[in-house]
Amino acid sequence: MNIEYINPFIEASKVVLKQTAGIDVKLGKVYLQESPFRSNSIIIIVGLTGKIRGQAMFSMTMDVGLFIASCMMGGAPVQELDEMAKSALSELTNMILGNTATILYNKGLTIDITPPTCLFGDNLQISNNKLRIVCIPLIMEDGRTFEIDVAFEE
């Protein structure tokens, strides 16, 4: 998998999280994820089509999801993953991938994204046997982690 395809996801995530939620993140150790793998309590899946095909999966604990949704809503307390919180998190992934697509386009690589699908619950298991999955952990100042799992083929 070409690292030049992964860096735009990292760059876009840092910018969008800062602009929309005021959250600074640093990059954790990027690694290959085994398939199947267990996800945290919330996973938002967005399909990728075009020059590269696959999925970007945004994975976080319920605590992290509620924290991000609260930050996106100006600090208003978010106690549960209601429709407003799901909408905020889905929009966050749209913005991250929209920015990623723009960065890739500027490098001569055109992709399109599908609408996000939000899943939540305990013991979510993700299986993608045909594609290699790169895990990009983004670590917030307080140690909370927001992961992007990218699986695609050229």
Q: How far apart are CA 69 and CA 37, in angstroms?
A: 25
Beta-carbon count within 10 A of 94 CB: 16
Q: Can you give the C-alpha Rg of the chain in angstroms?
A: 14
Average pLDDT, the chain: 90
Least confident of 61-70, 109-118, 120-129: 120-129
What's the pLDDT at 36? 66
Q: Does residue 152 or residue 45 have the better pLDDT?
A: 45
What's the pLDDT at 41? 85
CATH 3.30.230.10 is held by the domain 1-21+41-124: no
| Cα pseudo-dihedral 12, 89, 121, 141, rounded to 10 | 60
What's the pLDDT at 56? 93
Token pair 């407003």: residue: 84
Kindly list the domain boundaries of the chain, sorted by start residue.
1-21+41-124
Task: Give the torsion sign (CA, 5, 6, 7, 8).
Answer: positive
User: Model confidence at 123, in pLDDT bands (50, 70, 90)?
Assistant: confident
| Model confidence pLDDT, tens digit, residues 20-34 | 999 999 999 999 877
Tokens of 101: 């697509």
CA nearest neighbour of 10 among 152, 138, 122, 101: 138
For the full predicted model, state whether its pTM sits above 0.85: yes
The distance of Cα 64 from the centroid of its chain, to the nearest Å, equals 12
Beta-carbon count within 10 A of 125 CB: 9
